[in-house]
Structure 1
Amino acid sequence: MPRVMIARSFDGPEALELADEPTRAPGADEVTISVLASGVNPADAKLLNGVWGRNPSRLPLHPGSEVSGVVTAAGPDAVGPAGPIAVGDEVIGYRVSGGYAEEITVAASSVLPKPASLGWEEAAGLLLTGVTAFHLLEATGVGEGDVVIIHGGAGSVGFAAVQLARLRGARVIATASERNHGLLEAFGAEPVVYGDGLVDRLRALLPDGADVALDTVGTDEALDASAALVADVDRIATVAGFERAAEIGAKRLGGGAGADPGTELRMGARLPLIELAGRGELTVRVARTYPLAEAAAALALVGEGHPGGKVILLP
């Protein structure tokens, strides 16, 4: 029987336990995936901590929203965003529920083809951060010739945003710790150390200011620096610092209170992002992998805030 990580309470990642659960047979327009890698994300910890509600009827909790694997069964009319899905297809699943598992049955609408050139681990870590970065760029209209500040450029979302902004022809200035400056330079960004004096360092590099600021870290420092450098507040967006963003009038994107979830836009970005990754134009950095049974430790690393790339579970 397939193994799955579940939580029987809202007591955080520590409540996760390994269980044996039968996999539901796929119904109409559903498929079953043998999971070969699962992405680990901060949103999983929020689910386990009851941030989005603590209704007992939702227990046990099944975290995990992105996977990669092979289709082992397909129901009638199993058609995904790229067309019909068949047994044996190598796929990426996003957005799904219960991805911390060896096998999962999901809606065909969440299943997309995995390029042969993309490894299982990279494929499982591509889409959540990718669609989030895409939403940031779309919401602020990043285009050719724009000067864009990206706060947290070496984080998973920030790193995707750096690459996507460069592909659009923007000049990118990315804040990051000094140890990540070489990486950012290799991908065409101009790195700046965050911390005290950030505004002065940015002004020295950008005497005329910037056109856009994208925040992936959520600190007051990042948002205040954005407001100081970008004249048009409609071109400042965050996926993390909602309180400060509301105070300065910046855009709030994602799942927080008062934020624009951008659901349709994000789901529409999945295939283009997969195509970019398949051609080698969008890179996913995998920082570390863990066995499925060590999901709590994987979430702890993600919760520290600086894992150095995507954290992935392997069955």
Structure 2
Amino acid sequence: MTKAIAFPHYGDADVLRPVDVELPAPGPGQVLVAVRAVGVNPLDHKVRSGALDGFFPVTFPAVPGYELSGVVEAVGDGVHGFEPGDEVFGAVMGGAYAEHALVAAEQLALKPAALSWEQAAAIPVAAETAARALDALDVRAGQTLLVHGAAGGVGTLLLQFARARGITVIGTASEANHDHLRELGAIPVTYGEGLADRVRAAAPAGVDRVLDAAGQGGVLPLSVDLTGGADRVLTIADMAGAQEHGVRFSGGADGGELYHASGYAAALALHEAGTLRLPLHGVFPLAEAAEAQRASEHGHLRGKIVLTVRPAAPARRG
């Protein structure tokens, strides 16, 4: 058994509560990780609320959480490159709000000693999404990319990946986050009325591609107009808007391909070069998961929200 935070039914953040859950031994290709930190993402509260019922089915009581960092406790058959005691980070298909979690080995990476637990837990989802979005947009060196919601967890990493590729990035954000975007090498613009004119002033030669990471109303038709074609716009946050305006939506595993390995590699290369920036909007203990999700729902984040987990006794499996 292991301690976790779960929701017994759909609802607001108040439905989250502590539970004990049974944890089997790692199966073939799996790694049992003693969790140290967990990344909090918009997907967490969207699944908990029932907004994605049918897209992300859950079994109650459901343990949220799609990324973590921690220490390998045991490995299943066929796992190579990881052994008990290794410090790791990676993505998981739910279940990370816990003291222990089972993770597919292919979605794990070794954590550098100089990378904190909290920063490592902020990498997996954002890195995979950023690598996938840049590939889907086919944006190249010398081109200009507009990112809506550039100061959040995905945007923060994507700006750094894009800069490393020689891509010019214009990022929308509130005025309070403009210095943050400049530090990441982006040209900041304020969202809201008059956005198109501000983008054109920042990019006189035009915008080649647009990524919507915010899901705010009105930005998709504006983006199509700025780029000259719906095929040059991608959203990771507005499925309904994508259908309405004929732009592409990416929610993961596009074409059956995941970008964990390439995303992790890009983030670790920046870390090794000493240029990786992983700002944390807020850090909460696991017991305050409800408060962390409320902060995530509020939006206007600078970087990621992370939960921390105190070292636990080895998992008991019954």
The TM-score, its normalising length taken from structure 2, stands at 0.89
SS at match of 1:194: coil
2:280 paired residue number = 286
2:229 paired residue number = 232
2:18 paired residue number = 18
1:71 paired residue number = 72
Deviation by residue 1:268-305 (Cα, 9 ceiling, x = unmatched): 43442342353234322111111111111100000001
SS at match of 1:19: strand
2:257 paired residue number = 264
Partner Cα separation in structure 2 for residue 261 and residue 14 of structure 1: 33
| Matched ranges for 1:8-47 at <5 A | 8-47=8-47
Q: What letter corresponds to residue 68 of structure 1 in structure 2?
A: S
> In the alignment, is the contact (CA less than 8 A) between 1:131 and 1:267 conserved in 2?
yes
Judged with a 3 Å threshold, the aligned counterparts in structure 2 of structure 1 residues 254 and 262 are, in CA distance, closer, same or farther, namely: farther
2:196 to 186, 195, 199: 199
> In the alignment, is the contact (CA less than 8 A) between 2:30 and 2:75 conserved in 1?
yes
Partner Cα separation in structure 2 for residue 23 and residue 288 of structure 1: 29
Q: What letter corresponds to residue 155 of structure 2 in structure 1?
A: G
Partner Cα separation in structure 2 for residue 198 and residue 68 of structure 1: 38
2:177 paired residue number = 180
1:214 to 211, 214, 219: 211
1:275 paired residue number = 268
2:152 paired residue number = 155
Judged with a 3 Å threshold, the aligned counterparts in structure 2 of structure 1 residues 56 and 114 are, in CA distance, closer, same or farther, namely: closer
Identity %: 39
Higher mean C-alpha deviation, range 55-64 or range 232-241: 55-64
Deviation at 1:148, TM superposition (A): 1.2
Q: Aligned pair count?
A: 307
Give the gaps of 5 or more residues in structure 2: 310-318
Q: What letter corresponds to residue 297 of structure 1 in structure 2?
A: E
Deviation at 1:198, TM superposition (A): 0.7
> In the alignment, is the contact (CA less than 8 A) between 2:10 and 2:50 conserved in 1?
yes
Q: What letter corresponds to residue 45 of structure 1 in structure 2?
A: H
The TM-score, its normalising length taken from structure 1, stands at 0.90
SS at match of 1:117: coil
1:7 paired residue number = 7
Judged with a 3 Å threshold, the aligned counterparts in structure 2 of structure 1 residues 19 and 275 are, in CA distance, closer, same or farther, namely: same
SS at match of 1:58: coil
Judged with a 3 Å threshold, the aligned counterparts in structure 2 of structure 1 residues 75 and 247 are, in CA distance, closer, same or farther, namely: closer
2:313 paired residue number = none
1:141 paired residue number = 138
1:51 paired residue number = 51
2:120 paired residue number = 123
2:251 paired residue number = 254
SS at match of 1:283: coil
Q: What letter corresponds to residue 231 of structure 2 in structure 1?
A: D
Deviation at 1:15, TM superposition (A): 1.1
> In the alignment, is the contact (CA less than 8 A) between 2:65 and 2:95 conserved in 1?
yes
SS at match of 2:139: coil
> In the alignment, is the contact (CA less than 8 A) between 1:172 and 1:189 conserved in 2?
yes
Partner Cα separation in structure 2 for residue 277 and residue 38 of structure 1: 21
Deviation by residue 1:39-58 (Cα, 9 ceiling, x = unmatched): 11111112212233379981
> In the alignment, is the contact (CA less than 8 A) between 2:161 and 2:266 conserved in 1?
no
Deviation by residue 1:247-283 (Cα, 9 ceiling, x = unmatched): 332211116xxxx745514234344234235323432
SS at match of 1:67: strand
Q: What letter corresponds to residue 296 of structure 1 in structure 2?
A: A
Which structure is richer in relative contact order (CA contacts within 8 A, separation 6 or more)?
Answer: 2
Give the gaps of 5 or more residues in structure 1: none
Alignment of 1:310 onto 2:307: no
Higher mean C-alpha deviation, range 277-286 or range 101-110: 277-286
Judged with a 3 Å threshold, the aligned counterparts in structure 2 of structure 1 residues 28 and 244 are, in CA distance, closer, same or farther, namely: closer
